[in-house]
């Protein structure tokens, strides 16, 4: 009789291979793995560490300072996703600025911000454009729409980033990357295949329980073979070529630039900036924002958390001074942040 194949869960629970560190690059993976209780299945030699895939978390303090400057000094209306409002800047958060009278609006998409600008022609509206390849196309579309609508009161404060350079910067911090499936849906898989040739192993993972268990099981099976590997574990969404339409749109409006990441410093070529043809929609240029060097709270170890150098619970203020109600750093604010995941699901205890 043919032997029954093991389930992904059985492979994970029964893993007896060498110690392995797997980095969940994506903050949503971190939260879903916690929420689904997958961590409780892992044998002691399998360590999951968080990575830099939370857009709000990797956005540096100086970006918050720039937004506060625009809101208070230039009296623009800031449109932003909700998470960014409570991220501490060097001296103030956007919530603090709002308490001082600044106009801060929470929106659910850049299209909402563009629409608001169109409906309020007397206000100058700036959308805080953060995130990776997944969110950048929507910001680009809003700029194109603003151009078509002839708006002169809409612009983006851009801090969009691209993942490939971050993977290079994180080389050596984990044995296997759990790649964010939604990013690969845009970029395709060529880069990850190339990284495997350079010795960096990884599996593209989806977001359901089945997809996450499968990706982890594949990572453990392949890791034991002792050779670098790449597996697309999310083939129903991720194609090798990615999304040529989204890539073309980004390329039409934006070009690469050096970019500062919280904790990782400046990574050459890892950011995006609006091309010269679109600079009328670039808030930094439009309002001549001066260079601002942000200073994070010295007690905060977000930088180390984002590089997998420590767990949130290793931070001295975790769960004491720093809580979701009173966040000290971005990783405790964001719905995708590792510190908020540990706080919500780990109950303050390292798992």
Summarize as ranges the residues that interact with ligand SF4 (CB under 6 A).
299-302, 305, 312, 315, 317-318, 322, 328-329, 331-332, 339
Nearest distance from C-beta of residue 102 to ligand SF4, angstroms: 24
Half-sphere exposure of 297 (CA within 13 A, CB side): 20
Nearest distance from C-beta of residue 259 to ligand SF4, angstroms: 21
Nearest distance from C-beta of residue 318 to ligand SF4, angstroms: 4
Show Cβ contacts of residue 177 under 8 Å, excluding neighbours closer than 6 positions. 22, 23, 25, 51, 167, 170, 195, 200, 201, 202, 203
Sign of CA dihedral 227, 235, 216, 336: positive
Nearest distance from C-beta of residue 167 to ligand SF4, angstroms: 22
The C-alpha atoms of residue 115 and residue 202 are separated, in whole angstroms, by 40
> Smaller CB distance to ligand SF4: residue 276 or 320?
320
Nearest distance from C-beta of residue 160 to ligand SF4, angstroms: 22
> Smaller CB distance to ligand SF4: residue 308 or 329?
329
Q: What is the DSSP letter of 2?
A: P
* CA-atom Rg of the chain in angstroms: 21
* Burial of residue 153 (number of CB atoms within 10 Å: 0-12, 13-18, 19+): middle
Where would I find the beta strands (DSSP E) of 28-117? Answer: 46-53, 77-80, 104-106
Nearest distance from C-beta of residue 349 to ligand SF4, angstroms: 14
* Burial of residue 305 (number of CB atoms within 10 Å: 0-12, 13-18, 19+): buried
> Smaller CB distance to ligand SF4: residue 113 or 170?
170
Nearest distance from C-beta of residue 309 to ligand SF4, angstroms: 11
> Smaller CB distance to ligand SF4: residue 171 or 320?
320
Residue nearest to ligand SF4 (CB): 329
The C-alpha atoms of residue 162 and residue 244 are separated, in whole angstroms, by 16
> Smaller CB distance to ligand SF4: residue 94 or 332?
332
Pairing of strands 254-261, 230-232: unpaired
> Smaller CB distance to ligand SF4: residue 99 or 299?
299
Query: Coil, strand, or helix at residue 237?
Result: coil
What would the 3-class secondary structure string for 274-287 be? ECHHHHHHEHHHHC
> Smaller CB distance to ligand SF4: residue 60 or 233?
60
Nearest distance from C-beta of residue 328 to ligand SF4, angstroms: 4
> Smaller CB distance to ligand SF4: residue 194 or 309?
309
């Amino acid at each position: 009789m043919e032997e029954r194949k093991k389930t992904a869960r059985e492979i994970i629970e029964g893993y007896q291979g060498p110690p392995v560190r797997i980095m969940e690059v994506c903050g949503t993976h971190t939260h879903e793995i916690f929420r689904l209780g997958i961590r409780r299945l892992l044998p002691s030699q399998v360590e999951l560490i968080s990575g830099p895939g939370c857009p709000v978390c990797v956005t540096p303090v100086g970006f918050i300072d720039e937004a506060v400057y625009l809101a208070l000094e230039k009296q623009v209306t800031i449109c932003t996703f909700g998470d960014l409002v409570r991220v501490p800047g060097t001296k103030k958060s956007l919530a603090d600025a709002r308490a001082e009278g600044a106009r801060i609006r929470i929106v659910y998409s850049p299209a909402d911000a563009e629409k608001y600008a169109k409906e309020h022609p007397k206000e100058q509206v700036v959308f805080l454009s953060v995130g990776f390849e997944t969110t950048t196309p929507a910001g680009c579309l809003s700029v194109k729409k603003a151009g078509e609508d002839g708006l002169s009161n809409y612009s983006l404060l851009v801090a969009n980033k691209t993942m490939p350079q971050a993977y290079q910067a994180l080389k050596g911090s984990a044995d296997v990357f759990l790649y964010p499936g939604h990013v690969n849906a845009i970029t395709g898989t060529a880069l990850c295949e190339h990284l495997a040739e350079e010795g960096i192993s990884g599996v593209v993972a989806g977001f359901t329980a089945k997809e996450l268990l499968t990706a982890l099981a594949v990572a453990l099976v392949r890791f034991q073979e002792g050779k670098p590997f790449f597996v697309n574990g999310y083939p129903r969404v991720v194609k090798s070529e990615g999304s040529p339409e989204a890539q073309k749109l980004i390329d039409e409006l934006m070009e690469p630039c050096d970019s500062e990441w919280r904790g990782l410093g400046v990574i050459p070529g890892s950011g995006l900036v609006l091309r010269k043809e679109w600079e009328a929609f670039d808030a930094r240029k439009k309002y001549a924002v001066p260079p601002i060097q942000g200073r994070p709270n010295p007690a905060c170890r977000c930088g180390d958390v984002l590089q997998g150098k420590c767990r949130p619970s290793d931070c001295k203020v975790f769960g004491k001074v720093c809580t979701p109600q009173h966040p000290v750093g971005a990783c405790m604010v964001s719905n995708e942040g590792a510190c908020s995941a540990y706080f919500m699901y780990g109950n303050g205890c390292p798992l």
